[in-house]
């Protein structure tokens, strides 16, 4: 790991004054579960690291008029321990429960989940976010792409968004709160994830002089669930995931949000699945149809066609789980 | 020359103070500066759990924590598990069940298992397996480890009757 200057601010204002104006200068340290490996591999080589774990304003889970506010530095374990989260936002709890391991959940944070870098092995091995060779040729389409995108993959990005909480937060229409030294802004989580157009940009709408301060999830009576298809039950990212939020009118769907994870460079909102469910009861047949609709436009790469069926199944099982509800 | 930072923490109930570079992990600080070489470096990226320590009551991978982040924290390493010369029930159970072969993962497994039993003195087998998912062992196949944790949990419950 290259040497850097360490800053340990105790207020948000102080933390914001320590950020840089260009990506690469300064990194924000919360759980460290992604940043430290990136720095050890010298994919990130910041000259300064700002630890935000001691910034009080970034902690805590509170019910507010606008909905549930979750501080960016809340750990994934704290999120899971919240009875309010488990009871009211099961799709979020399902997603948090699936993350890695007890050790990682004790360290990793909500803000960090949204800001973690892609797991694309070309990126992690120094080929850049868009994974190109020295001549500018994209390496993924003809390369080892079994874990890459099957939607939104016409280029230039082929990686999948690594965020586990993102799909659930988007399904709940949550907002992410960002702050810089000159002010703060709210961005719908759906708009927070972006497909980068060049190697020097990022896969999130955060600016280099901003940090994520928290999330607000509007309160609404819904049924929701997240289902992840995994190779292993722990210590891995899903191969495909789906978060669904259903607004029911009696036994039928008045409105649905279906958001897929790990299939595209951003969490993938499926209007097609939502339309397929409108006015229907949720059962094996309608849930299967919604899964088919969500993946109808899939364009798998040479080695990842298997992910299409996994994603269909994720949508189906998330819908059935949401409809069943839980004690 | 890199500036060194002074860090004060409580390690295994003892106040300690050390100087480190910001880029040194807590694991490096424990091993190379404080001489506590019980915590092991396996993967150095959070996968294997051989470096597990209890930080302010919660098990973490010390390879993913910077030494400077330990300022003001309370840390328990494998060296702090035994009570003086008397082994902890987990350590006795690992020996009795032969829950180790090469032993490299054992410090991390025992520290993680201690964190589990501190939180849940009577965990189910499923809970034990899920809780120890971040502690990889390439020798035992885990069954003996799980049995050792179950034995230690039973021994702990006998010691402190409800």
* CATH code of residue B68: 3.10.20.30
pLDDT value for A199: 86
Q: Please list every residue in chain B whose beta carbon sits closer than 8 Å to the beta carbon of residue A39.
A: 23
Chain B neighbors of A98, CB-CB under 8 A: none
Whether B115 and B133 share a structural domain: yes
Average pLDDT over residues A73-81: 97
Q: Can you read off the two tokens belonging to residue A270? A: 């499926």
Structural domain span for residue A280: 223-323
A32 touches chain B (CB under 8 A): yes
Residue A301 lies in a domain: yes
Q: Chain-wide mean pLDDT for chain A?
A: 96
Query: What average pLDDT does this structure show over A184-193?
Result: 98
Nearest to A158 by CA among A198, A131, A128: A131
Q: What is the pLDDT of residue A327?
A: 36
Report, as an integer, the average pLDDT of A16-39: 97
- Give the pLDDT score at A122: 97
| Residue A192 counted as domain residue | no
Q: Which helix (H) or strand (E) holds A289?
A: helix A284-295
CATH number at residue B145: 1.10.150.120
pLDDT band of B162, cuts 50, 70, 90: very low
Q: Is A176 a member of any domain?
A: no
Confidence bin at A221 (pLDDT 50/70/90): confident
Q: Do B23 and A77 touch (CB under 8 A)?
A: no
Contacts B52 to A, Cβ<8 Å: 103
Q: For residue B68, what are the domain limits?
A: 5-80
**Cβ A273 vs Cβ A312: under 8 Å:** no
Q: Higher model confidence: residue A280 or residue A233? A: A280
Tokens, residue A17: 């004054």
CA distance B66 to B69: 5
Each residue's pLDDT tens digit, A158-167: 999 999 999 9
Laid out side by side, the sheet with A240-249 consists of A223-229, A240-249, A252-261, A268-269
Taking alpha carbons only, the member of A225, A255, A249 closest to residue A319 is A225
Find the CB nearest B64 among A5, A32, A53: A32
Residues of B in contact with A59 (CB under 8 A): none
Q: Which of B80, B110, B134 finishes a domain? A: B80
* Domains identified in chain B, total number: 2
**Is the per-residue pLDDT at A83 higher than 50?**
yes
B95 touches chain A (CB under 8 A): no
Predicted confidence (pLDDT) at residue A212 exceeds the cutoff of 60: yes
Test A6 with B60 for CB contact under 8 angstroms: no
Q: Which of A16, A34, A54 is the C-terminal boundary of a domain?
A: A54
- Could A6 and B5 be called an inter-chain contact, meaning their C-beta atoms sit closer than 8 Å? yes
Q: Kindly determine whether residue A8 and residue B134, on different chains, have CB atoms separated by under 8 Å.
A: no
Question: What backbone torsions phi and psi does residue A310 show, to the nearest 5 degrees?
Answer: -60, -40
Average pLDDT of chain B, as a whole number:
95
Final residue before a domain boundary, out of B63, B80, B97: B80
B112/A102 touch (CB, cutoff 8 Å), yes or no: yes
pLDDT exceeds cutoff 80 at A179: yes
B70 and B112, same domain (yes or no): no
ipTM above 0.90, yes or no: yes
Q: Mind telling me how many Å the CA of B78 is from chain A's nearest CA?
A: 16
Task: Report the side by side order of strands in the sheet with A210-217.
Answer: A61-64, A67-71, A210-217, A175-180, A183-188
Both B76 and B93 in a single domain? Answer: no
Residues B51 and B110 in one domain: no
Asked if B75 and B103 sit in the same domain, the reply is: no
Pairwise CA distance, residues A205 & A193, whole Å: 6
Whether residues A33 and B71 touch (CB distance < 8 A) is answered with: no
Tokens representing A300 are: 């798998």
Domain end, chosen from B42, B60, B80, is at B80
Q: What's the domain count of chain A?
A: 2
Tell me the nearest-neighbour CA distance from B154 into chain A, angstroms: 22
Residue in this structure with the two tokens 């025992």, named with its chain if needed: B110
Q: 10 Å Cβ neighbour count for B84?
A: 5
Q: Is the pLDDT of residue B19 over 60?
A: yes
B45 touching A (Cβ < 8 Å):
yes
**Contact yes or no for A308/A293 (Cβ under 8 A):** no
pLDDT, tens only, A252-274: 999 999 999 999 999 999 999 99
Are the C-beta atoms of B79 and B91 separated by less than 8 Å? no
B131 touches chain A (CB under 8 A): yes
Residue B6 CB partners (closer than 8 Å, separation 6+): B17, B18, B19
Q: Does A8 touch chain B (CB under 8 A)?
A: yes
Instruction: Read off φ and ψ for residue B21, nearest 5 degrees.
Output: -80, 145
Provide the whole-model pTM: 0.96
pLDDT of A326 strictly over 90: no
User: CA of A100: which chain B residue's CA is closest?
Assistant: B134
Q: Which two tokens stand for residue A94?
A: 């399902």
Task: Judge whether A221 is closer than 8 Å to chain B, CB to CB.
Answer: no
Task: Give the whole-number percent of chain A exceeding pLDDT 90.
Answer: 95
Taking CA A235 as the corner, what is the angle to CA A102 and CA B58, rounded to the nearest 5 degrees?
A: 15
- Chain A residue whose CA is closest to B48: A235
């Amino acid at each position: 790991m290259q040497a850097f200057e360490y800053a340990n601010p105790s207020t948000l204002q102080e933390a914001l004054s320590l950020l840089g104006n260009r990506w690469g200068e300064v990194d924000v340290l919360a759980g460290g579960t992604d940043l430290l490996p990136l720095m050890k591999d010298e994919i990130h080589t910041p000259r300064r690291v700002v630890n935000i774990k001691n910034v009080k304003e970034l902690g805590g889970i509170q019910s507010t008029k606008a909905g549930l506010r979750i501080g960016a530095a809340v750990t994934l374990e704290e999120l899971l321990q919240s009875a309010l989260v488990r009871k009211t936002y099961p799709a979020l709890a399902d997603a948090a429960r699936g993350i890695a391991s007890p050790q990682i959940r004790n360290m990793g944070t909500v803000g960090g989940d949204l800001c973690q870098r892609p797991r694309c092995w070309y990126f992690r091995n120094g080929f850049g976010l868009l994974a190109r060779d020295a001549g500018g040729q994209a390496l993924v389409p003809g390369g080892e792409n079994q874990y890459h995108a099957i939607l939104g993959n016409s280029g230039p990005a082929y990686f999948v968004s690594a965020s586990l909480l993102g799909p659930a937060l988007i399904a709940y229409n949550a907002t992410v709160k960002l702050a810089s030294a000159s002010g703060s802004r709210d961005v719908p989580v759906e708009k927070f994830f972006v497909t980068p157009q060049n190697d020097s940009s990022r896969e999130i709408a955060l600016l280099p002089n901003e940090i994520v301060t928290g999330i607000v999830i509007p309160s609404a009576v819904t049924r929701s669930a997240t289902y992840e298809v995994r190779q292993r039950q722990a210590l891995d990212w899903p191969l495909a995931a789906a978060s669904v939020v259903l607004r029911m009118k009696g036994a039928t769907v008045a409105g649905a949000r279906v958001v897929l994870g790990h299939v595209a460079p951003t969490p993938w909102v499926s209007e097609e699945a939502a339309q397929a469910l409108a006015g229907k009861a949720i059962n094996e047949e309608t849930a299967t149809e919604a899964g088919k609709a969500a993946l109808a436009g899939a364009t798998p790469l040479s080695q990842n066609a298997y992910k299409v069926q996994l994603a269909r199944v994720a949508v189906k099982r998330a819908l059935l789980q949401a409809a069943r509800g839980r004690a | 020359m890199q500036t060194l930072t002074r860090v004060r923490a409580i390690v295994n109930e003892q106040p300690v103070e050390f100087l480190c570079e910001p880029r040194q992990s807590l694991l490096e600080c424990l091993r190379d500066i404080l001489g506590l070489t019980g915590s092991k470096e396996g993967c150095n990226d959070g996968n294997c759990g051989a470096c597990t320590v209890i930080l302010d009551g919660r098990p973490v991978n010390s390879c993913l924590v910077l030494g400077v982040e330990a300022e003001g924290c309370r840390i328990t390493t494998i060296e702090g598990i035994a009570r003086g010369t008397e082994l902890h029930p987990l350590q006795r159970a690992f020996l009795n069940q032969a829950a180790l072969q090469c032993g490299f993962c054992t410090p991390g497994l025992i520290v993680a298992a201690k964190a589990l039993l501190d939180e849940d003195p009577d965990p189910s087998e499923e809970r034990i397996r899920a809780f120890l998912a971040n502690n990889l062992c390439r020798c035992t196949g885990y069954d003996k480890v799980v049995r050792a944790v179950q034995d230690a949990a039973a021994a702990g419950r006998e010691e402190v009757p409800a």
